Amino acid sequence: MEFSIRPHYDLFIDGVRTSAHSSETLECISPLTQESLFRFPDADAEDVDRAVKAAQRAFVTWAQVPARKRQALLDACADALVANVDRLAWLETTNCGKPFRESHANVLVAAERLRYYAGACRVLEGTLLPVTRDITSYGQRTPLGVVGIIGAWNFPLNMFIGKIAPAIATGNTVVYKPADSTPLTTLESAELLAAILPAGVVNVVTGRGTSTGAALVAHPGVRKISVTGSTATGRRVMEGASSTLKRLTLELGGKNAQIVYPDADLDRAAQAIALGAFLNQGQVCTAGSRILAHSSIAAGLKDRLRDLIARLRIGDPFDSTSQMGTLASKVHFDRVHDYVELARQEGGKLVAAERQVRVEKYPRGLFMAPMLFENLDPAGRVQREEIFGPVATFSEWSDERAMLDEVNGVEQGLAAGVWTRDLAQAHAAAQAIESGRVWVNCYNLFPSGAAFGGSKASGFGREDAFETMFDFTEVKNVIVDAGTTWRNFYD
């Protein structure tokens, strides 16, 4: 199975491929071969302005489309993704290096997100407040206007679809900037959606975050910015948006803990902990990379993890037996490698035997074996900073209060896992952990309708849930006096 990639991609504005005003282009490099896949524009402020104006024109009519019609169109968009699932999954794996079976599942998850918001927008209601017999106050939710969205590189298709779904479902129009290392499936799927949605509802501009992204954040015609990225990116976006008082949703980094209590099912926990730490080669904001096991069961859990890590199949991502593929870019590969060296400098001991990964078909592929370190200082950089790669740490605890202090001792607060058969204990731990999501006896499940987002330096706002639509609307209050004579209400 193989599909074609164009040697050059344009911007996607007002429903069509559009040449950029900027003459600057960027190159997308394959993480499998280190060869060029295609080139695409590094859009400038004028390009962003054209996209915003197209979205503004589209908003005039799109905001008036009834919810039942938007529902039908979003359902049709989901159908289009499913009909192209093999092609989109192939493109995603080619651009990102993740296993094809994961990319295939990601397309279906994206379609499900569209279907969720297609239905949810039908029941987004206002409020009615009878004041007196003649006077009524009511609130209605209205779309904001043009929404600027900046996506991350680790799940490009899911990011694109999952972020635009609540925005367009509530009547907004979108200008979307994908990550400059993985824009392929965003550009391709935008064309699929354009055959269904009115022109200008969804626009895509490509380029660097420091240029294209900054122009989008600063544009006065954009009413809201939604970003997934690092904590440092979130700080820059807040600064850039401050002058125009834009609304913000920031889904930022995480340094997430998985806590294992003495009564946990260790076989089940080990399987899910490995998945939580190494899914998508650890390139997940919710990666459960800090494993904290009670001292009474630490040795048994460590043995299980060591065995699982040794048996993880790393190889050709198009091979159905591969469980791990490549990291997404050489720049990121080198960054993760630097953290591995730092772990050794900070006294880390490798739990699993170190192994070199060579895949005959892709000798230059950015493959990296999963690693689990122990004996690291909780105050050290490796234990406190997000690595975003297949690197996890293991530590033991005996005092629960001290352990929870360690869990909460990092600046981020995105996600955590708790492993115990005692549900009372699980609930207590979930309340004590400072994070936006806590999984109990599972990890990395993302059902539609379950609010996802962080606390502290992991950002603010919630995604994937019904209440996400609130962030893309504002409440307009209308007070009506149906009486026939004037009265002073305060008499």
Q: Which residues are catalytic?
A: 251, 285
Instruction: With H, G, I as helix, E, B as strand and everything else as coil, classify residue 393.
Output: strand
Angle between helices 156-169 and 100-120 (to 10 degrees): 10
What is the C-alpha separation between 437 and 444, in angstroms, rounded?
10
Which pair of tokens denotes residue 484? 């026939």
Using alpha carbons, select from 149, 223, 218 the residue that is nearest to residue 179.
149
Which pair of tokens denotes residue 282? 């650890």
Which pair of tokens denotes residue 123? 């029941």
Contacts of 31 (CB under 8 A, 6+ apart): 95, 96, 97, 325, 326, 327, 328, 329, 330, 365, 366
Instruction: With H, G, I as helix, E, B as strand and everything else as coil, classify residue 462.
Output: coil
- What secondary structure does DSSP assign to 61-91, as a single string? HHTTS-HHHHHHHHHHHHHHHHHTHHHHHHH
Q: Which amino acid is at 484?
A: T
**DSSP one-letter code for 374:** E
- What secondary structure does DSSP assign to 161-193, as a single string? HHHHHHHHHTT-EEEEE--TT--HHHHHHHHHH
Q: Where are the beta strands (DSSP E) in 234-362?
A: 247-251, 257-260, 290-294, 349-350
> Which H or E run contains 340?
helix 330-345
What is the C-alpha separation between 223 and 270, in angstroms, rounded?
45
Contacts of 143 (CB under 8 A, 6+ apart): 59, 63, 170, 171, 172, 472, 473
Which phi-psi region, left, alpha or beta, contains residue 349 (left: φ > 0; alpha: ψ -120 to 50)? beta
